[in-house]
A and B are shown apart, each in its own frame.
Chain A
Amino acid sequence: MTVQSPPATDQVATKNTTCYMCACRCGIRVHLKNGEVRYIEGNPEHPLNKGVICAKGASGIMKQYSPARLTQPLRRKAGSERGAGEFEAISWDEAFRTMEERLRKIRATDPKKFALFTGRDQMQALTGMFARQFGTPNYAAHGGFCSVNMAAGMIYTIGGSFWEFGGPDLDRARLFVMIGTAEDHHSNPLKIAISKFKRNGGRFISVNPVRTGYSAIADEWVPIRPGTDGALLLALTHEIINTGLYDRDFLARYTNSGYLINLDPASDQCGMPVRSGAPAKGDNPEHGHNQLWWDRHSGRAVVNHAPDADPALLGNYRLEDGTPVKPAFQLLLERVKEYTPEWAESITGIPAATIRRLAHEMGITARDQRIELPIAWTDSWGHEHETVTGNPVAFHAMRGLAAHSNGFHTVRSLAILMSLLGTIDRPGGFRHKAPFPRAIPPMAKPPKGPEAVQPDTPLAGLALGWPAGPDDLCVDADGGPVRIDKAFSWEYPLAVHGMMHNVITNAWRGDPYRIDTLMIFMANMAWNSTMNTVEVRKMLNDRDEQGEYKIPFLIVCDAFQSEMTAFADLVLPDTTYLERHDVMSMLDRPISEFDGPADSVRIPVVPPKGECKPFQEVLIELASRLKLPAFVTAAGARKYRDYPDFIVNFETEPGSGIGFLSGWRGRGGEKSMVGEPNPRQWEMYEKNNCVFHQRLPRSYQYMRNWNQGYHEWARRTRVRRYTDPIVIQIYSEVLQKFRMAAQGKGKAQRQPPAHLRERIDTYFDPLPFYYAPLEVQTTDTARYPLAAITQRPMAMYHSWDSQNAWLRQIHSHNLLFINEKTAKSQGIVDGDWIWVESMHGRVRCMCRTSEAVEPGTVWTWNAIGKAQGAWHLAPDADEARRGFLLNHVISEELQLADGARVSNSDPVTGQAGWYDVRVRISKAAADEPAETSPQFAPLPPAPGTNRVRRLWQAFVAGKGEFK
Chain B
Amino acid sequence: MTQLALVIDLNVCVGCHACVTSCKEWNTSGAAGFMSDDNPYDRDPTGTFFNRVQTFEVGEYPDTQTVHFPKSCLHCEDPPCVPVCPTGASYKRPEDGIVLVDYDKCIGCKYCSWACPYGVREIDEHQKVMKKCTLCVDRIYDAKLPEAERKPACVLACPTNARLYGDIHDSESVVSKAIRENAGYALMPEWGTQPANHYLPRRKTEMRIHEDELDRAANPLKIDGRLPKPGVKDPSLDDVTSW
Q: Which residues of A contact B (CB under 8 A)?
A: 1-4, 33, 38-42, 44, 49, 51-59, 61, 67, 175, 183, 187-188, 191-192, 194-196, 198-199, 201-204, 211-217, 219, 221, 223, 243-248, 296, 312-315, 357, 360-361, 364-365, 367-368, 794-795, 803, 805-810, 812, 819-821, 850-855, 872-874, 876-878, 881, 948-958
Contact = CB atoms under 8 A, between A and B. Distances in A.
Interface in B43-64: 43-47, 49, 57, 59-62, 64
B137 A3 contact: yes
Contact of B103 (A1, A56, A245, A812): A1
Interface stretch (B80-88, B187-195, B202-210, B231-239): B202-210
Given A58-B18, A203-B206, A809-B45, A314 B225 contact: yes
A191 B39 contact: no
Contacts of B220: 244, 246-248, 313
Contacts of B142: 3
A810 B24 CA distance: 13
Contacts of A314: 221, 224-226
A928 B56 CA distance: 30
A953 B36 contact: yes
B76 interface: no
B43 to A, nearest CB: 5
A433 to B, nearest CB: 19
A20 B192 CA distance: 46
B45 to A, nearest CB: 5
B21 A951 contact: no
A872 B41 contact: yes
A810 B68 CA distance: 14
Interface string B6-40: 00000111111110111011101101111111111
Interface string B136-179: 01100110000011000100111111100000000000000000
B21 to A, nearest CB: 4
A51 B157 CA distance: 7
B2 interface: no
A795 B34 CA distance: 22
Nearest to A33: B29
A950 B61 CA distance: 43
Contact of B57 (A203, A803, A852): A852
A40 B153 CA distance: 10
B100 to A, nearest CB: 6
Nearest to A955: B28
Nearest to A872: B41
A315 B57 contact: no
Nearest to B203: A198
Given A192-B159, A195-B12, A360 B209 contact: yes
A877 B158 CA distance: 30
B67 interface: yes
B229 interface: no
B16 A808 contact: no
B29 A956 contact: yes
B81 to A, nearest CB: 15
A217 B13 contact: yes
A872 B41 CA distance: 8
Contacts of B28: 954-956
Contacts of A357: 209
Contact of B29 (A41, A812, A878, A955): A955
B35 to A, nearest CB: 7
29 contacts: A39-B26, A41-B153, A42-B156, A52-B161, A53-B22, A54-B16, A54-B159, A55-B16, A58-B21, A58-B22, A59-B21, A191-B14, A191-B159, A192-B160, A199-B12, A217-B13, A219-B206, A223-B61, A244-B221, A244-B226, A314-B224, A357-B209, A794-B15, A795-B16, A806-B24, A807-B21, A808-B45, A809-B45, A878-B44
A191 B138 CA distance: 28
A949 B40 contact: yes
Given A41-B156, A55-B20, A368-B213, A313 B66 contact: no
A203 B205 contact: yes
B209 A217 contact: no
Contacts of B204: 219
Interface of B: 11-18, 20-22, 24-26, 28-29, 31-47, 49, 57, 59-62, 64-68, 100-103, 126, 134, 137-138, 141-142, 148-149, 153, 156-162, 202, 204-207, 209, 213-214, 216, 219-227
B107 to A, nearest CB: 16
Given A805-B45, A851-B61, A949-B40, A214 B31 contact: no
A878 B43 contact: yes
Given A41-B157, A956-B34, A194 B14 contact: yes
A39 B25 contact: yes
Contacts of B38: 951-952
Contacts of A202: 205
Given A1-B134, A55-B18, A58-B157, A211 B12 contact: no
Contacts of A221: 62, 64
A851 B60 contact: yes
Name, among A55, A219, A853, the residue most crowded by chain B CB atoms within 10 Å (CB to CB): A55
B66 A42 contact: no
Nearest to A202: B205
A196 B162 CA distance: 10
Contacts of B224: 248, 296, 312-315
Nearest to A822: B61
Name, among B46, B220, B225, the residue most crowded by chain A CB atoms within 10 Å (CB to CB): B220
A806 B39 CA distance: 11
B74 to A, nearest CB: 19
A3 B138 contact: yes
Contacts of A855: 61
Contact of B14 (A214, A360, A956): A214
A957 B30 CA distance: 9
Given A315-B225, A851-B64, A954-B36, A198 B209 contact: no
B60 to A, nearest CB: 5
Contact of B223 (A248, A795, A803): A248
B160 A191 contact: yes
Given A248-B223, A806-B24, A873-B41, 13 more contacts: A1-B31, A1-B101, A3-B141, A33-B29, A55-B21, A56-B21, A198-B11, A203-B207, A223-B62, A367-B216, A794-B15, A852-B61, A948-B40
Contacts of A246: 220
A42 B43 contact: no
B95 to A, nearest CB: 13
What are the 3 closest A-B residue pairs judged by CB atoms, nearest first?
A: A248-B220, A55-B17, A195-B160
B62 A219 contact: no
Given A873-B41, A954-B35, A53 B126 contact: no
Contacts of A192: 159-161
Nearest to B125: A952
Nearest to A364: B213
A188 B64 CA distance: 25
A63 to B, nearest CB: 11
A368 to B, nearest CB: 7
Given A852-B64, A956-B29, A956-B34, A204 B205 contact: yes
Contact of A216 (B41, B66, B161, B219): B66
Contacts of B134: 1
B57 A874 contact: no
B148 A44 contact: yes
A824 to B, nearest CB: 12
A953 B103 contact: no
A62 B103 CA distance: 26
B25 A40 contact: yes
A211 B43 contact: no
A952 B160 contact: no
Given A42-B157, A221-B64, A360-B214, A795 B57 contact: no
Contacts of A245: 214, 216
A803 B25 CA distance: 16
A216 B21 contact: no
A58 B11 contact: no
A243 B33 CA distance: 63
